[in-house]
Amino acid sequence: MKKNIAIAIHGGAGQDSPYIREHVNDYKKGLKEAIEHGHKLLSKGAKAIDVVEATVRILEDNPFFNAGRGSALNREGEVEMDAAIMDGKLLMAGAVSMVRNVKNPIELARTVMHYTKHVHIAGEGALKLAKIRNLELQPNEYFITDHQRDLLLEETTPTGHGTVGCVAMDEFGHLAAATSTGGLTGSLPGRVGDSCLVGAGCYANELSASSCTGEGELIITSVIAHKVAMLMELKNMRVQEACDYVIRNMENPIPGDVGIISVDNKGRIAFSFNCQRMHRASIDTSGKMVVEVYNV
């Protein structure tokens, strides 16, 4: 008997580039691998919160995406990573920022959620927690790719909108969301983006689960992920309508590149972005798979 499950992922949104066009098949391959893994877990009865963590881990391990291995470099050529995860049924969340050396920041965010009384831990405190819980660590060189070195040399101002995220509904109708990022190329050391901020780049409740990507400062000030949930609750909007209202509202447009993936408690999946591309994939309740980078 087919289970009523749904999952969606993203791998960043923003402007197109020669590098993306050259490697579009590599991006699609990575998205397909991650979405198939997550859906397989759901089909075996895994909880949504476990699935979003496991799926984001795969994206963090893929050097083509700006999260974990392949993270952006700040102005000093260093990697500082952010991540957050949220259980919509329990309204519990965990988040980390300015993380170094932790192979999978999303696993550390989940650790904050389950093994501490806190929601958000940053910097050296986050690394200490990772060591206490025996999470896998890697040297600085593991996270740095030639592509990210090239981007740092090319840019004079902070740029790059790479993030990964996953939202899922399990067979019980429970929702969860997870988001992870390597940040902005050339940013000031200590800069914290939206991905680790609950309600901005990551949010889940009993109505919807959302993960955002794009220009983090705009996602933070617009509180995008939470705004989608509130439009559904207070305005009775459907998930796609709410996402489009927030991301593509022509009456009050967001002055930059942003995107979102969402799923509601009926398993309806929504994608919305206002820029040239958003790496994304989904498998809906019918089992139909979508893997795309550009508008279709």
Closest CA to 165 of 1, 13, 6, 291: 13
Q: Under a CB-based contact definition with an 8 Å cutoff, are residues 109 and 84 in contact? A: yes
What's the rounded Cα separation, in Å, for the pair 169 and 52?
10
| Dihedral sign (CA 279, 105, 111, 224) | negative
DSSP 62: -
The catalytic position among 163, 179, 181, 185 is 163
Q: Under a CB-based contact definition with an 8 Å cutoff, are residues 165 and 179 in contact? A: yes
Annotation marks residue 213 as catalytic: no
The CA-to-CA distance between both ends of the chain, in Å, stands at 32
Q: Under a CB-based contact definition with an 8 Å cutoff, are residues 130 and 102 in contact? A: yes
What's the rounded Cα separation, in Å, for the pair 239 and 225?
11
Three-class SS state of 137 = strand
Give the residue numbers marked as catalytic.
163
